[in-house]
Structure 1
Amino acid sequence: MSSNSEIPTGNFQDNDYKSRPGQSEIPVTSDDAPIEDPIDAATADSDEQLERDDRDAINKENIIGDRTRGATKKSGTYTEPGDEEGLPGPEDGTSSGSQ
C-alpha cells in the first residue's frame, strides 16, 4: 500500500501530451486553454429545453402505428404447460435422490 503523502492533491493538469515545437504537429488543446461552452446555462435546465430535446430525439417516421400493440394470442388459445411437462420420466435412468 502507498502512503497518503504520495497522493496528489488539488486540480490535476497534464499538458505532456501537447505537441511541442519541432515535433509532429497534431492540434491538441491544452488543459488550461479556455473553451467555448455551447450550452446556455440560463436555459439548459428548463422544461422548454427538455421538451425540445424530446422532440429532437424522437423521429416520428420511425414510429410504427398500432400494428404490434396488443399482439397477443386470442383469448382461449393459450394453454399453460403442465407440472410434469419437459421433465424426464422415470425411464431415463436418473436417480430421484435419497429417500
Structure 2
Amino acid sequence: MSAQDSFETPVDDDYKSRTGQHLQMPVQSDTAPVEDPIDPATADTDAQLEKDDKEAIDTSNIIDGSRTRGAKPAGTYQEPGDEEGLPGPEDGTSRGAAT
C-alpha cells in the first residue's frame, strides 16, 4: 500500500465548513489533499523497524537474568491430585442412589 492509494467511493461533502461559517473547528472536504508524514520509500524497511524497536524498548525496565520476582525455582510446583480437597465417601455428600 502506498501514499498514492485512491479509493473510488461516493463523496458527500454536506458536512464540510462553508464560507462564512464560524465553527470552532473547521471541517475539510473528503477530497482535500492530506499531508502524509510517512516516507513510503523508508517506511517498510528493516532499518526503520529496528529503529522503531530501539525507540520503543525502555531498557531501564528490564531486569537482569539473575533476579526473579519471588517465583519458586522451576520444578517445585505440584499439581493437586484428582481427589485432593474433595470430601470422602463416608461423609454422605456424594452418596449415589441406594441399591
What TM-score comes out, normalization by structure 1 length?
Answer: 0.65
Q: Give, in angstroms, the shift of residue 69 of structure 1.
A: 7.3
SS at match of 2:71: coil
Find the aligned partners of 1:27 and 1:98 in 2 and give their Cα distance. Answer: 81
The alignment covers a number of residue pairs equal to 89
Q: Percent identity?
A: 58
SS at match of 1:50: helix
Find the aligned partners of 1:89 and 1:20 in 2 and give their Cα distance. Answer: 81
What TM-score comes out, normalization by structure 2 length?
Answer: 0.65
Find the aligned partners of 2:85 and 2:12 in 1 and give their Cα distance. Answer: 62
Structure 1 consecutive aligned stretches of length 4 or more whose deviation exceeds 6 Å: none
| Residue correspondence of structure 1 range 5-84 to structure 2 within 5 A | 10-25=8-23, 26-66=25-65, 67-68=67-68, 71-73=71-73, 77-84=76-83
Alignment partner, residue 94 of structure 2: 94
Gaps of 5+ in 2: 1-7
Q: Give, in angstroms, the shift of residue 11 of structure 1.
A: 1.0
Deviates most, 43-52 or 22-31: 22-31
Q: RMSD of the TM alignment (CA)?
A: 3.1
Which is bigger in relative contact order (C-alpha 8 A, separation at least 6)? 2
Gaps of 5+ in 1: 1-9
